[in-house]
Chains A and B, each alone.
Chain A
Amino acid sequence: MMNSTNRPGMNEMVNELKARFNVEEVTFVQDHEAHVDLHRKDLHEALTYMKQNGFRQLSAVTCIDWPNEKIFQLIFNIYDWSKGNRFIFRVKIDREEAMFTTITNIYGGAKYYEREVHEFFGVVFEGNDSALKQLFLEQWDDLPPLRKDFDSRAYSDRKYVKREYKTSFGEKGGEPFERN
């Protein structure tokens, strides 16, 4: 992994972030793309700072479930159109009490991303009430489906009628498949 890049603005930005915030780790994925692991308390300030410095677009908000570490990792993907640089901020939050403060007052477009994260992972965003409403899954009635402890197959078996076959397609069962 590179620790620095020749890309204009990237190194300066990283240094600034390091100086201002509690940055845990910085990884350069590409010349113009860096992953920054932040402490959850610094995220809002960091995003505000980034937005003031040209990163006007929030490309995505998503989440990764780490059931063994018992954390959710929230991912905020921001982009600077003037320089073509991308930063990906990652913060860790507690899995059991999945709460985070909304960033809609910084990036208004986060409204729907947060809604999606809430729907698929169950993370509650304080301050964004609309995030509690359903978005994609119409009338969902189970655990948030992208959590690792959600068993998709069991859900499918329970919910949907499966077709029954007379023939078993196991290792030795079934008719031999003819190719001619």
Chain B
Amino acid sequence: MAKKANIKKDKVKKIVIDKSKSIIDAPSGMFSDKINEPFAHEMIVSKDRSENLTPKQRKRKWKSMANYFSANSLWMLMYCTGCCAIELPQAMTSRYDMERLGMGPMATPRQADILLITGYLSLKTLRRLIYTYEQMSEPKYVVGFGPCTLNGGIYHDSHAVINQLDQYVPIDLYIAGCMPKPEAVMNGFQDLIDLIEVGEATGWKDYHARYEWYKQNQKEALGEVMIHDEFHE
């Protein structure tokens, strides 16, 4: 029993390397100059995690207790928008057991730390997503699943589906795959944990810093975010 459950992290990662070999480069100009390093490694999952960390970062990792607690107790808000959500039950249950990373599903955005965007987002969903994201308490992290959140995926030419999610809310990590397999999901979460531990998952700070820019983009796509019509009065 224990043997089955105790999948070694290395093994998981190996599979991921095979499956999700990066075919995408890091987008340029995604973040403002305030944040020095573009989040290259969050886009590319192929590198070994330990390679990502410079010695300086490793030092910081142990310094920040707050980051440690944040990283190891990620409660996720399950906001299932598309097909990728179907991979979460496997990641959650016995086979991959998300709980061993300290993660668990939570009912409301107030309690949650990470927002999983599992697939394409129509305009209508995006409004609710932004509202939900703004309700979450900080620090908060966003994980995008699959290509739909990255570039629209197979819905790239749809009139109702947005293409690039990071224009509207800051994304801390993308997980590749259409849909990403549970191994990739687990690996992605592990990467997120590492990022938080070294204090580099700063999407929520970016949202504060470039709030006007995000609002501008949201307005362009949506008109107004908080919609008033007969169903919402």
Binding site for B on A (CB under 8 A): 133-134, 136-139, 141-142, 145, 150, 152-153, 155-157, 159-167, 175, 177-178, 180
10 more contacts with CB within 8 A, not counting A150-B159, A156-B156, A156-B161, are A133-B230, A137-B123, A145-B160, A152-B159, A155-B159, A159-B159, A163-B150, A163-B164, A164-B28, A175-B23
| Chain B facing A: main interface SS | loop
**B221 on the A face (CB < 8 A):** yes
A33 → chain B closest CB, angstroms: 31
Contacts of A138 in B (CB 8 A): 123-124, 127, 222-223, 227, 229
B102: interface (CB < 8 Å): no
Q: Report B169 CB to chain A, min CB distance, Å.
A: 13
With A161-B217, A163-B27 known as contacts, the answer to whether A156 contacts B227 (CB < 8 A) is no
Q: B163 at interface (Cβ–Cβ under 8 A)?
A: yes
| Residue interface mask B149-160, A partner, CB < 8 A = 1 | 011100011111
Q: Whole-angstrom distance from the CB of B20 to the nearest CB of chain A?
A: 13
Given contacts A139-B222, A152-B158, A178-B21, contact A163 B227 (CB under 8 A): no
List the B residue with the shortest CB-CB distance to A167: B25
CA A142 – CA B123 in complex, angstroms?
14
Q: A138-B123, A138-B124 are in contact. Are A163 and B159 (CB under 8 A)?
A: no
Interface size on B, residues (CB 8 A): 32
Which of A141, A152, A164, A180 is B157 in contact with, Cβ under 8 Å?
A152
Distance of B117 from chain A, by nearest CB (Å): 16
Residues of B with C-beta under 8 A to A166 = 25, 28
Secondary structure call for the A interface = loop
Is B33 an interface residue, CB under 8 A from the partner? no
Closest residue of chain B to A160 (Cβ to Cβ) is B163
Q: How far is the CA of A145 from the CA of B156 in the complex (A)?
A: 15
With A136-B124, A138-B227 as contacts: A159 and B221 at CB distance below 8 Å: yes
What residue in chain B is nearest A136 (Cβ atoms)? B124
Please tell me if B1 contacts chain A, counting CB pairs below 8 Å.
no
* Least CB distance, A122 to chain B, in whole angstroms: 14
Tell me whether B123 and A161 are in contact (CB under 8 A): no
Does chain A have a CB within 8 A of B162? yes
Q: Are B160 and A153 in contact (CB under 8 A)?
A: no
Which 7 pairs, one residue from A and one from B, show the smallest C-beta to C-beta distance? A153-B157, A139-B223, A163-B151, A160-B163, A152-B159, A155-B159, A145-B159
Query: Do A160 and B124 have beta carbons less than 8 Å apart?
Result: no
**Beta-carbon contacts under 8 Å, B115-150 to A:** 123-124, 127, 150
Task: Pick from B23, B123, B157, B227: contact of A177, CB below 8 A.
Answer: B23
| B47 CB → nearest A CB, Å | 15
Chain A residue nearest to B123 in the complex (CB) = A138
Could you name 12 residue pairs across A and B whose Cβ atoms are closer than 8 Å?
Answer: A136-B124, A139-B223, A156-B158, A156-B159, A156-B163, A159-B159, A159-B221, A160-B162, A160-B163, A160-B164, A161-B164, A162-B156
* Contact residues in A for B163 (Cβ distance below 8 Å): 156, 160-163
Question: What's the Cα separation between A139 and B220 when bound, in Å?
Answer: 12
Q: Bound complex: CA of A165 vs CA of B152, how far in Å?
A: 14
- Provide the residues of chain A in CB contact with B127, threshold 8 Å: 138
